[in-house]
Amino acid sequence: MPQIPEPQIPEPQIPEPQIPEPQAVAQDAREPQVRAPQVREPEAPAPLTLAAIRQVPKVLLHDHLDGGLRPQTIIDLAAEQGYHDLPTADAGDLGKLMSGAKGNLELYLEAFRHTVGVMQNRDALVRVAAECAADLAADGVVYAEVRFAPELHVSGGLSLDQVVDAVLEGFRRGSADRGITVYALLTAMRTAARSAEIAELAVRHRDAGVVGFDIAGAEAGSPPSRHLDAFQYVARENFHITIHAGEGFGLPSIWEAVQWCGTDRLGHGVRIIDDIRAAPDRPPALGRLASYIRDCRIPLEMCPTSNVQTGAAPSIAGHPIGLLRQLSFRVTVNTDNRLMSGVTLSSEFLALTAAFGYGWGDIEWLTLNAMKSAFAPFDERLRLINRVIKPGFDAVRPAPAVPAA
C-alpha cells in the first residue's frame, strides 16, 4: 500500500510534512466534493466541545451499516414489512434499549437481529444506506468506508449483487451535496463458508464504490487463515483487505491476519497490547509482532466504546489506544456500531480527550492517520488531506509556532 510520510514522533503539534500534490490529477467521476472551510488563524485553540469536534473534518474507516440505523427507521421499516419482533414501537425507547445493551451480549446480538431483520429488500437498504451517509456528514465526517455483510441481506429474495447495488445507491443518494465521500467494504462472516464468493463480489463492484474486503464474526475458533483462498484471490486482484482481528481473541488472530492473510489494516487489533511489555520504571518493550505492525505502519481501526462494551478493554481510560498512540502506532478512531454503542465519531473523540487529555493536534494526527490508511486511491486521499482536513484543523487551532532561527 502506498505510504505517505508519517509525522514526526511523538510530538503531535509538529506540522505534517508538506506533500506536493500531483500536478496533473485526473478528474474522475468519483472526485470527492471538497468543503471549503473558513480558514482563519485563531490566536487560541477553540474549546474542545462536542459541537466544535463535529465541525472539523473527520475520517471513518470502521463502521457497520447494520449497527447504525436510526431507531425511527427501524420502526418504519418494520411496519412496512410486517416485521413484528420489535420490543417497542417508540423510537426513543427502542434507541435506549438498543444502545443500552452494554455488557450484555444477548441484548447486543438481539439488536442486530432486528436491524438486519428489516434490511431485506432494496428500498430498505437504499434508505438505511442513504441515512447512514447523511448522518455521518452531519457529524462532520468527510470520508467514510462503511461495511456490511451481503450474505445477511438475502432472505427477502435479493441476490448478493442486488444487495450491493442497493447499498451503493443509498450511499450515492445520501452523500450527494453533503461534502462526504462514502465507500463500501464487503464483509464475509468468518463462521460461514461464503468468503470466496463475497471476495469475488467485492472485486466485481470495485469500480462502483466498493473499496475492500473484510471478515467479521466470532473470532475464537474461526481464525482468518480458514479463509485464505478468499484473501489470496483479493491480493491477486490487487484489491484491499481489512480483517477483524485481535478484538475477542488475541495475538494468534492478529498474526494470522497479517502474516498469512496479508491484511492491509486490522479491525480493532486491541490485543496487540499483549505483545508490549509496559512497566512503570522502564520504556515499553515491543515484541516481534508489535514491532512489525508499528514498523510497517499497519493501521489499527480502533473502536474504543465498542471495545469497552464487548470487554476487549476495561474502560476508555484503560483502553490500549492511549499507549499505542504514545508509541506512534498507526492508530485510527472509529465508531463500529453507532446505534448499539450510542456513539458518533465526534463523541468518540470527545471521550478520548476526556480520558487522555487529547488536544486538536491529537485529533488531527488521528484523522490524518485514518485518511492515509483509507482504501481510496492515493490522489484522492491527498486531495482530502491538503484541501479539506488540514484547512479544517487550521481553523480551530493556532498555527504552529515558527521555530526560532
User: Binding marks (x or -) toward Zn ion, 280..319, rule CB under 5 A?
Assistant: ----------------------------------------
Pick out residues in 335-354 that bind Zn ion (CB under 5 A).
Answer: 336
Q: Which is nearer to Zn ion, 67 or 95 (CB)?
A: 67
Shortest spacing between CB 303 and Zn ion, in angstroms = 7
Q: Closest separation between CB of residue 304 and Zn ion, Å?
A: 13
Residue nearest to Zn ion (CB): 336
State how far the Cα of 341 lies from the Cα of 99, in Å rounded to an integer. Answer: 5
Q: How far is the CB of 64 from Zn ion (least distance, A)?
A: 6
Tell me which residue has cell 478528474.
27
Strands (E), 20-124: 58-64
CB closer to Zn ion out of 256 and 336: 336
Q: 34: closest CA among 317, 296, 403, 383? A: 383
* Residue 34 vs 189, nearer CB to Zn ion: 189
247, 256, 364, 380: the catalytic one is 247
Binding span for Zn ion by CB under 5 A among 200-208, 235-243, 281-289, 331-339: 331-339
Q: Which is nearer to Zn ion, 122 or 190 (CB)?
A: 190
Chain positions 222 to 281 lying near Zn ion, rule: CB under 5 A, are: none
Shortest distance (Å) from residue 216 CB to Zn ion = 6
How far apart CA 364 and CA 228 sit, in angstroms, is 36
- 16 tagged catalytic: no
Beta carbons within 8 Å of 2's beta carbon, 6+ residues apart? 378
Residue closer to Zn ion, measured from CB, 301 or 364: 301
- To Zn ion, the closest distance from the beta carbon of 310 in angstroms equals 10
The window from 132-140, 334-342, 361-369, 388-396 that contacts Zn ion (CB under 5 A) reads: 334-342
| Rounded least distance, CB 244 to Zn ion, Å | 6
Query: Candidates 116-124, 206-214, 314-322, 332-340 — which segment interacts with Zn ion by CB under 5 A?
Result: 332-340
Long-range contacts of 378-383 (CB under 8 A, 24+ apart): 378/2, 379/21, 379/22, 379/25, 379/26, 380/30, 380/31, 380/32, 380/181, 381/4, 382/4, 382/19, 382/21, 382/22, 383/21, 383/25, 383/31, 383/32, 383/34
Identify which of 59, 128, 39, 73 has the alpha carbon closest to the alpha carbon of residue 393.
Answer: 39
How far from 253 is each of 89, 220, 298, 309, CA to CA, in Å?
Answer: 40, 9, 15, 20
Query: What character string, x for contact with Zn ion (CB under 5 A) and - otherwise, covers 150-169?
Result: --------------------
Which residue, 145 or 275, is less far from Zn ion as judged by CB? 145
Alpha-carbon dihedral 346, 152, 154, 233, rounded to 10 degrees: 100
Q: Nearer to Zn ion by C-beta: 336 or 394?
A: 336
Q: How far is the CB of 228 from Zn ion (least distance, A)?
A: 21
Binding segment (CB under 5 A) for Zn ion, from list 88-96, 234-242, 277-285, 328-336: 328-336
d(CA 192, CA 170): 27
- Strands in 300-302's sheet, in edge-to-edge order, are 58-64, 141-148, 181-189, 210-216, 241-245, 265-268, 300-302, 331-333
How many residues interact with Zn ion (rule CB under 5 A)?
A: 1
Cβ-in-10-Å burial (0-12, 13-18, 19+) of 228 comes to middle
Which residues contribute to the site for Zn ion (CB under 5 A)?
A: 336
Residues tagged active-site: 247
